[in-house]
Amino acid sequence: MSSPTPGRLTEARHGWRTLLGSTLGIAVGIGSIPLYTNSILFQNLEDEFGWQESSLTLVFLICNLVLAVASPFAGRVVDAIGSRKPALVSALVLGVSYLVLAIAPESFPLYVVTQILVYLAAACSAAVAYARLVTGSFDLMRGLALGVMNTGPALVAMVLPAVAASALGAGGIRGAYVTLGLICVVGGIITFALIPRRADTMAPDAAGPAAALTAAVPQVVRKLEVNRTLVTMCAAFFLVAFATIGTIELLFGLLLEVGATEDEAIAMLGSLGLVMLIVRLAIGALLDWLPVTWVAATAFVICAVGLAALGLVGAPVAVVAVLALGLALGSETDIMAVFVSRYTSRRVFGRVFGIGSFAFGLGAAAGPYLLSLVHEGSGSPAAPLLLAAAALVVAAVLFASVRQIRPTAAQRLRDDVAFDEPAAV
């Protein structure tokens, strides 16, 4: 294996604190903590307070739609004043909300209002703020850096459920809320302290040599205008979320229907976390050397083939299909961040990433519901799997239709690629 080039070492020296802080920040943010603890908390809320699980999951669906709507506004905020302070405020809001729930009366309407307000106020603790920081500090290693950043939620998925379960055993639901609240508050403060102030500035050379190189390269989207690249991006991210999130929500039952045993299905689902962790790093490294459009199209076609095979062949290919789904689930966030960073100016990165997150959030909300309707209507596990596969193929075609940009600043400068200005619509 060849040693890193001086440019990569320089990026690592300038950006390691930003990367470490962003990895911790996204791990204790609104996109991680509730996602990986709600299933445990919901069961205890049902047991202790008598709240129905269906009502709690509906609140979670509404909150995710709220987060999707809030993402473009969060992007505008971080573009205007930087990421560090909004991310800290959002982490503190998330942590305080858990502490408030720990002492609040047993009122379901109060719970609903609290959750909706938190998802609005804590939007800057999601990927939009931290991806902006990492893409501003890394270029030659941007894909790998984003892959490392996105291991934060994967590590949380491995550790936090056990922590929450232990807190529930010691102090009930209120004890668990206190534990989660302190994790968010302390994690947010450490994140703020780790990320240097210079990583947040808009000056071209403030984040080191990588940002200076990036600033010299023409971008496709320099201003926030509706154009073909932006529309294609949003449509592709919607379809990817529709297919992957929709499938993962139904996967256990689908595996049983195609002939897998319950133990086999549980084992395959358990392997997803490790697969996603490995894929994030591998895909991130590839994105530093290959155009993001190629990587995206290839990953999603592979996933589509796996899902279609699972629907048509069944249990004999179940392991391969689950691994293919893990490939897509482990790469989608990295692909979104790298795609936005390569096709937009840093000055509008937050807003464009927020719009992409909005499209992804809509797909994540619509996918489980619509695929479950198809499943119920057809009475066959093949129908939702084939629909998800078709959505991924269309997304791959959309990615492949976008004019490619070479992945590193040095290569793009040598090629001197010129792009047309986007036309306002």
Of 164, 322, 323, 186, nearest to 254 by C-alpha is: 322
Q: Confidence class of residue 138 from pLDDT cuts 50, 70 and 90? A: confident
Task: Show the tokens assigned to 390.
Answer: 């078709």
What's the confidence (pLDDT) of residue 421?
Answer: 36
Which three-class secondary structure state does DSSP give residue 208?
Answer: coil
Predicted TM-score (pTM) above 0.85: no
Separation between Cα atoms, residue 39 and residue 64, nearest integer Å: 15
**Confidence grade of residue 226 (pLDDT, cut at 50, 70, 90):** low
Q: Say which residues have a Cβ less than 8 Å from residue 146's Cβ, sequence separation at least 6.
A: 131, 134, 135, 138, 284, 287, 333, 334, 337, 338
Condensed to tens digits (0 to 9), the pLDDT of residues 233-280 reads: 999 999 999 999 888 878 888 888 988 888 888 788 777 777 888 888
- Quickly count: other Cβ atoms within 10 Å of residue 415's Cβ: 11
Q: Give per-residue pLDDT as tens, 160-213.
A: 878 888 888 888 889 999 999 999 999 999 999 999 988 876 433 344 444 433
DSSP 131-187: HHHHHHH-STTHHHHHHHHTHHHHHHHHHHHHHHHHHHHHHHHHHHHHHHHHHHHHH
Per-residue pLDDT, averaged over 50-70, amounts to 83
Nearest-angstrom CA–CA distance, 249 and 374: 14
Residues 329 and 153: beta-carbon distance below 8 Å: no
- Of 395, 220, 417, 399, residue with least CA distance to 303: 395
Decide if pLDDT at 340 tops 70.
Answer: yes
pLDDT higher than threshold 50 for residue 412 = no
Q: How far is CA 221 from CA 303, 317, 338, 346, 422, in A?
A: 29, 42, 14, 10, 6
Instruction: Judge residue 394's burial from the number of C-beta atoms within 10 Å of its C-beta, 0-12 exposed, 13-18 middle, 19 or more buried.
Output: middle
**What separation, in Å, do the N-terminal and C-terminal C-alpha atoms of the chain show?**
48
Copy the structure tokens of residue 386: 């084939």
**Per-residue pLDDT tens for 351-405?**
888 999 899 988 988 888 888 889 889 988 999 999 999 999 999 999 999 887 7
Residue 101 has pLDDT above 80, yes or no: yes
pLDDT, tens digit (0-9, with 9 covering 90-100), for 170-182: 888 899 999 999 9
- The larger pLDDT score, comparing residue 55 to residue 304, is at 304
Residue 157 has a pLDDT of 74
